[in-house]
Amino acid sequence: MSQKHPIPHVPGFSAEELVSKIGFCEQLKGGVIMDVVNAEQARIAEEAGACAVMALERVPADIRKQGGVARASDPEMITAIQAAVSIPVMAKVRIGHFVEAQVLEALEVDCIDESEVLTPADEQFHVDKRRFKTPFVCGCRDLGEALRRIHEGAAMIRTKGEAGTGNVVEAVRHMRALWAGIRELRGQDVKFLERKAVEHRVPYELVAWVAESQKLPVPNFSAGGIATPADAALMLQLGAEAVFVGSGIFKSSDPQRRAKAIVRATTHFNDPKVLAEVSKGLGEPMPGLEVASLPPEQRLASRGW
């Protein structure tokens, strides 16, 4: 087990807590985590086979459209969703907003997403996730960003993609970059790994573990722009262990049906026959956005570092 969960000792953070946090995230593998904005959507998601829901006030597509500061959700709404379903309930906090995280922990949400989809609260520091008993998931665009978040105590990583676009291109870019970063370490000598540790701004031990194991020490999920069953299967074939689907479900013309189809596509990501079957007649997907046309300040993935 020490082989599997190699995060260097961190003050106030026991190895057992680590197994419990990462272990929670392991249970979500092969599943779909769906964004929901109320109890009714949460029930639809659970009924469709979601392995967890992400409670938030506005899905990323609406945050884009409406603008303004996006903050953590109203506790009342989170509590209502917790009461409505038996699957795990996650919720988002702004990058660096450790008090929003304290509030979510007090509500006993099962997992906290420190998310670039909300407006960042701190331009210097992410939340010190080791101080919390609740597992955190954080976004990344490449290996360095993933390792920095893991070193801060994230129990799960998701590649960021570009949320609210219905366009999977950024999710693919980030997943490929992450694996390229991992593969680059394979078989390298100590000097090279030491240099990488400096470059990624994380302890050498973490880089050395990834070099040896050729994977992240925590589950590696995908998010941001997944709109179809084939998108979900694409991310799993590229090495994601589960997917987050945000606007893609409840912004489509037939959320129930699409949700079920994406769940099934995630289970059978390697079976094109099943993928063909579940992709039939789903109605309109969410309207997509061309990412290249987004001005830099509207790109959510560039939030965080």
Partner 1 sequence: MNGHDERPVGVLALQGDFADHEDALAAFGVATRQVRVAADLHGLAGLVLPGGESTTMLKLLDVEGLWQPLGDSLRSGIPVLATCAGMILLAERVEHPNQRSFGLLPITVVRNGYGRQYHSGTFPLRSDVLPAGTTGTFIRAPRISQVRPGADCEVLAWRDQDPVLVRCGAMLAAGFHPELQPGHPVTAMWVAMVRTARGAALAH
- Kindly tell me which residue out of 41, 73, 134, 220 binds partner 1, with binding defined by CB under 8 A: 134
Question: One symbol per residue from 171 to 210: x for binding partner 1 (CB under 8 A), - otherwise; what is it?
Answer: ----------------------------------------
In the complex with partner 1, which residue's Cβ is closer, 200 or 260? 260
Q: Is 235 exposed, middle or buried (0-12, 13-18, 19+ CB in 10 A)?
A: buried
124 binds partner 1 (CB under 8 A): no
C-alpha span between 221 and 64 (Å, rounded): 23
In the complex with partner 1, which residue's Cβ is closer, 16 or 297? 16
86 binds partner 1 (CB under 8 A): yes
Residue 266 near residue 30 (C-beta atoms within 8 A): yes
Work out how close the CB of 110 gets to partner 1 at its nearest, in angstroms, rounded to a whole number.
4
- Kindly tell me which residue out of 49, 203, 285, 288 binds partner 1, with binding defined by CB under 8 A: 49
- Kindly tell me which residue out of 12, 65, 76, 133 binds partner 1, with binding defined by CB under 8 A: 133
Work out how close the CB of 198 gets to partner 1 at its nearest, in angstroms, rounded to a whole number.
32
255 binds partner 1 (CB under 8 A): no
- Kindly tell me which residue out of 1, 66, 76, 189 binds partner 1, with binding defined by CB under 8 A: 1
Q: Which two tokens stand for residue 294?
A: 């987004």
User: Could you say which of 21, 92, 196, 251 is catalytic?
Assistant: 92
Using CB under 8 A, which residues numbered 261 to 290 contact partner 1?
A: 263-264, 266-268, 271
In the complex with partner 1, which residue's Cβ is closer, 41 or 266? 266
Work out how close the CB of 178 gets to partner 1 at its nearest, in angstroms, rounded to a whole number.
18
Residue 40 near residue 80 (C-beta atoms within 8 A): no
Stretch that binds partner 1, among 25-33, 34-42, 203-211, 286-294 (CB under 8 A): 25-33
233 binds partner 1 (CB under 8 A): no
In the complex with partner 1, which residue's Cβ is closer, 166 or 219? 219
92 belongs to the catalytic site:
yes
- Catalytic sites, residue numbers: 92
Which residues of this chain interact with partner 1, rule CB under 8 A? 1-2, 16-17, 19-20, 23-24, 26-31, 46-52, 82, 86-88, 105, 108-111, 133-135, 260, 263-264, 266-268, 271
